Amino acid sequence: QAKATGAGSVFYTQSLADDLHRRQRVSDRFKLALESDMFHLVFQPQVRLEGGSFEGCEVLIRWRDEELGAVPPSEFIPIAEELGLITKLGEWVLSQTCRHMSDWAARGLSVPGRVAINISAQELMSSGYVANLEDTVASFGCDPSAFELEITEHGLMQDILAGKEILNELEDLGFRIAIDDFGTGYSSLSYVKHFSADQLKIDLSFVRDMMVDPASNAIVAATIAMAEKLGMQSVAEGVETKEQADALKAMNCPIAQGYYYSRPLDAQDFEDTWLIPANG
């Protein structure tokens, strides 16, 4: 027990204990949730800024726990990584995504462009990852070219050669690669120097601030210009207002995603609102 030297450190010790307690609770419940399939997926459309056409979607995981209520992925993904369970969770996300896609396809519905799933670097670097991914996608009768894998730079930069090899294998199989949260890491620029990708997702923190903060505005504009020069498609994340959409369009950003267009929707709402019958 830390010795309290004043009111401040008593408070600190208490809140640290609360944090640890919460973390332990989330870990315990998470293990149960993974055993009993307590997650579900939501889908958020991506649209072309010029003309507004529907160009694809991102899949995001949701967990509503009986005791803890809704736990956000920003809280439980790091815990899954720490517990060594992120690979298992990733497999669940992939197979569940494939299940929805094959179900839609069977009913003549399809997502135009790509369905993007988030891959933790730890998952990507785990042994047998590429073979498992290929097998799962094939077992649902899906095609790799229907998928985009969103990867943050965290982790991949630690072993550039191994990372490159995996990304190359994935691209050879037909998967698309997106660099997620661009601009937030320590090494964003060296990342794009070393790794090629199809899409570059501008982190929502820059989009959020771009109308009020000149630095964020400059970063967004420069990122869009750089992506274009490098042959990557930029996607602006977290677009919430018409003003942001107009400014991004004026900067020649091709694609946007955010609450201004749609919240992430559960499978049924997404289907009803966005999916188009293949034969009219």
- Kindly list the residues in this chain that would bind ligand C2E in the complex (CB under 6 A): 44, 60-61, 72-74, 77, 93, 118-120, 150, 180-181, 204, 237-240, 258-259, 264
Contact between 188 and Ca ion by CB under 5 A: the answer reads no
Q: Least distance (Å) from ligand C2E to the CB of residue 161? A: 23
Contact between 180 and Ca ion by CB under 5 A: the answer reads yes
- Nearer residue to ligand C2E within complex by CB, 55 or 181: 181
Q: Least distance (Å) from ligand C2E to the CB of residue 278? A: 26
Across 152-220, where does the E strand assignment appear? 176-182, 199-202
Residues numbered 95 to 134 that lie near Ca ion (CB under 5 A) are 118
Locate 85 and state its tokens.
């369970």
Give Cα separations from 210 to 52, 160, 178, 185, 256 (angstroms). Answer: 21, 31, 22, 18, 14
Picked from Ca ion, ligand C2E, none, the partner binding residue 93 (CB below 5 to 8 A depending on kind) is ligand C2E
Strand pairing report for 69-71 and 54-65: antiparallel
Rounded CA gap, 247 and 212, in Å? 12
Compute how many other C-beta atoms are within 10 angstroms of the C-beta atom of residue 273.
Answer: 12
Q: Least distance (Å) from ligand C2E to the CB of residue 260? A: 7
Rounded CA gap, 115 and 101, in Å? 9
Q: Least distance (Å) from ligand C2E to the CB of residue 87? A: 10
Q: Least distance (Å) from ligand C2E to the CB of residue 34? A: 13
Rounded CA gap, 84 and 93, in Å? 16
Rounded CA gap, 178 and 150, in Å? 5
- Nearer residue to Ca ion within complex by CB, 49 or 151: 151
Q: Which of 55, 123, 148, 150 binds Ca ion (CB under 5 A)?
A: 150
Strand pairing report for 199-202 and 233-236: parallel
For binding to Ca ion (CB under 5 A), which residues are involved? 118, 150, 180-181, 237
